[in-house]
């Protein structure tokens, strides 16, 4: 018997999510990973992220583990009735559809809280209420209008971040708000509506640069052209074209950096003694160091940096992380069975929520569900008879 089970602090909490793509499903995934029963309500033909190709191929299996699936046709009155009945059984309802969608089906907070005053209702939108809230938002849209693409790309070449930053963090902020609302409900006995939004999430990420401008009066430069506060803080090309990031962010680190790499002449140069002396000479210094490292392998440099306790990072691709020794040793990757696509039924590794609770990672209890995998049990649990369920299936009201 396991004397130290993985913590599931949200066991007993029922979450019904009307979500798609990344933002809303991320909120549900966080709550599910912590033990909540999360029910994913899908269209009758399934969440369309099940069928995405290319960069979207990993969306569904990544953000929908530990969930139950039911397919409901909300375009039919009978389907709406099923959805309302299911939502009435929830502690939390989460959604991320455009404004007005949930009201159209009577699945908005006002309608549902009239039946269940304890309901916590988490909306994930493009914008918080205001002049922009009618706009259609995507992660890329808010990165462009919210400064992130400007800060990421080279001058004159805005570039979105290489992952769904705002979608994922918007879902995380939604989950944080849900946890706060649960504590408040425990005190007052009442639920509340809460909202997370892509644009405001992106602006929060830009806060440090906004304050940089407010404090210095200087426009923050994009990261590739920023005024770097450290002289050695860059990517270097090593032997055979391999790349590695190296840094020395203090004078003590600079001294050690020179020692381990055999740069006695640079260490002895009084004009390079302090970081603030080195920064103005950064272009020359980077060129010199780059030339001296070009014949050394990234593996050799990594070993030297690690032994000396200096910051370093080999440049890796996403697929390289499957072989990362730290992730493998610490259980940072877990098996999931793919529910859809040409590899349906096969097992692959996925990343876990990046926290420990009681010293343990929160694992995969349920594989990402197939469409309607739990419809029968869920409908029976809210009072539908076997005959009624069969009739709903026959009419294509549920899947």
**Catalytic positions, please?**
167
Separation of alpha carbons 38 and 23, rounded Å: 15
Q: Work out the burial of residue 157: count CB atoms within 10 Å of its CB; fewer than 13 is exposed, 13-18 middle, 19 or more buried.
A: exposed
Say which DSSP state 130 is in.
S
Q: What are phi and psi of 16, to 5 degrees?
A: -110, 120
Q: How many CA atoms lie within 13 A of 234 on its CB side?
A: 22
Q: Are strands 14-18 and 312-314 parallel, antiparallel or unpaired?
A: unpaired
Work out the end-to-end distance of the chain between its first and last CA atoms, rounded to an integer number of angstroms.
Answer: 38
How far is residue 223 CA from its own chain's centroid? Answer: 22
Q: What is the DSSP string of 88-126?
A: HT-SEEEE-PPTTHHHHTT-SHHHHHHH-TT-EEEEEES
In contact, 17 and 69? CB cutoff 8 Å = no
> Which residue, among 261, 237, 257, 232, has the nearest Cα to 247 in the 3D structure?
232
Q: What does each C-alpha distance from 222 to 84, 227, 334, 386 come to in angstroms?
A: 48, 9, 36, 61
């Amino acid at each position: 018997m396991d004397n130290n089970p993985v913590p599931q602090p949200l066991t007993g909490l029922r979450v019904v999510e009307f979500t798609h793509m990344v933002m809303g499903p991320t909120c549900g995934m966080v709550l599910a990973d912590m033990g909540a029963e999360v029910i994913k309500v899908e269209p009758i033909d399934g969440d369309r992220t099940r069928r995405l190709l290319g960069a979207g191929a990993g969306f569904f299996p990544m953000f929908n583990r530990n969930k139950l699936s039911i397919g409901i046709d909300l375009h039919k009155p009978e389907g709406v009735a099923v959805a309302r009945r299911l939502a009435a059984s929830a502690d939390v309802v989460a959604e991320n559809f455009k404004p007005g969608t949930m009201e159209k089906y009577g699945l908005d907070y006002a309608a549902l809280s009239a039946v269940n005053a304890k309901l916590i209702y988490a909306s994930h939108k493009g914008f918080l209420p205001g002049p922009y809230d009618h706009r259609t938002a995507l992660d890329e849209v808010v990165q462009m209008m919210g400064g992130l693409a400007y800060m990421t790309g080279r001058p004159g070449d805005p570039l979105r971040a290489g992952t769904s930053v705002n979608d994922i963090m918007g879902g995380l902020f939604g989950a944080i708000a849900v946890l706060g609302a649960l504590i408040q409900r425990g005190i007052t006995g009442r639920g509340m509506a809460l909202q997370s939004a892509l644009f405001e999430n992106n602006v929060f990420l830009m806060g440090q640069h906004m304050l940089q401008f407010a404090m210095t009066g200087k426009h923050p430069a994009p990261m590739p052209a920023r005024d770097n506060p450290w002289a050695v803080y860059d990517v270097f090309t090593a032997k055979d074209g391999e790349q590695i990031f190296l840094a020395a962010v203090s004078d003590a680190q600079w001294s050690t950096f020179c020692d381990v790499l055999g740069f006695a002449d640079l260490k002895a140069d009084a004009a390079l003694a302090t970081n603030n002396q080195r920064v103005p000479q950064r272009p020359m210094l980077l060129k010199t160091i780059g030339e001296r490292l070009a014949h050394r392998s990234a593996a050799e440099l990594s070993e030297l940096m690690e032994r000396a306790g200096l910051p370093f990072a080999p440049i890796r691709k996403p697929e390289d992380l499957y072989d990362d020794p730290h992730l493998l040793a610490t259980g940072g990757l877990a098996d999931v069975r793919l529910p859809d696509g040409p590899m349906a039924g096969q097992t692959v590794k996925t990343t876990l929520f990046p926290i420990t609770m009681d010293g343990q990672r929160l694992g995969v209890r349920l594989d990402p569900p197939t469409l309607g995998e739990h419809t029968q049990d869920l409908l029976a649990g809210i009072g539908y008879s076997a005959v009624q369920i069969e009739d709903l299936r026959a009419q294509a009201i549920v899947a």
